[in-house]
Amino acid sequence: MNCRGFQHRLYEYLDGTLSPRAQAAAESHLSGCAACRQALQAERQVAQSLSDKFRQTTDSLQLPPVVQHRVLAALADQRRAPAEEQGRVFSWGRLAWPLGLAASVLLLVAGVFLCVRASRPQTGPAQPRLAGGEVLVQFSYVVPTYTFRQEDGFVIDALTYQTNVVNERLPAQLARLK
């Protein structure tokens, strides 16, 4: 090992983390090199000096007790919070989807019923007669839509209706009009 090699491994030598072979080579080099011995000594002094200075300047410092109180208070909040959150999620998890499914089925049945009913010609005031024995028939039906969406952990449902109007020309006979 030459001087450059020793300087390169100086920190590992001080740490005692060199391999046995490298350690032996370093010892052998040191025994014959005054400059590297001096460099090693200087590095040890720097380490000791900085270590002492850091300790002298911080030894009297103590973490204020209020920090411990705050951390323990935060822990108490944290232990409380998941239980509340879990309770809310469970109640929705148990109730929201079955309720939503039941409501959807109900509305689907209602929707089909309304569509069938709406597809029948309305009986009401006299339909306007057109030339050639045709009449203008107006059908109207309502389509309900039930939607679910999730917002901030809550399931929000919404029921909306859409009215569709269809105008058709039908032969008077087909429309069974008097």
Q: What residues line the site for other proteins (CB under 8 A)?
A: 11-12, 15, 17, 42, 45-51, 53-59, 61-64, 67-68, 70-72, 74-76, 78-79
For every residue of 62-91, DSSP letters joined together read ---HHHHHHHHHHHHHHHHHHHHHHHHHHH
Between 14 and 110, CB nearer to other proteins: 14
Between 31 and 78, CB nearer to other proteins: 78
Taking the complex as a whole, how short is the minimal distance between the CB of residue 68 and other proteins, in angstroms? 5
Between 45 and 91, CB nearer to other proteins: 45
Tokens of 17: 């983390």
> What's the rounded Cα separation, in Å, for the pair 145 and 133?
39
Taking the complex as a whole, how short is the minimal distance between the CB of residue 4 and other proteins, in angstroms? 14
Between 15 and 84, CB nearer to other proteins: 15
Taking the complex as a whole, how short is the minimal distance between the CB of residue 140 and other proteins, in angstroms? 59
The helix (run of H) or strand (run of E) holding residue 142 is strand 134-151
Taking the complex as a whole, how short is the minimal distance between the CB of residue 16 and other proteins, in angstroms? 8
Taking the complex as a whole, how short is the minimal distance between the CB of residue 110 and other proteins, in angstroms? 49
Nearest residue to 121 (alpha-carbon basis) of 100, 103, 136, 102: 136
φ/ψ of residue 30, rounded to 5: -60, -40
**Residue 125 exposure: Cα atoms within 13 Å on the Cβ side:** 2
Between 54 and 161, CB nearer to other proteins: 54
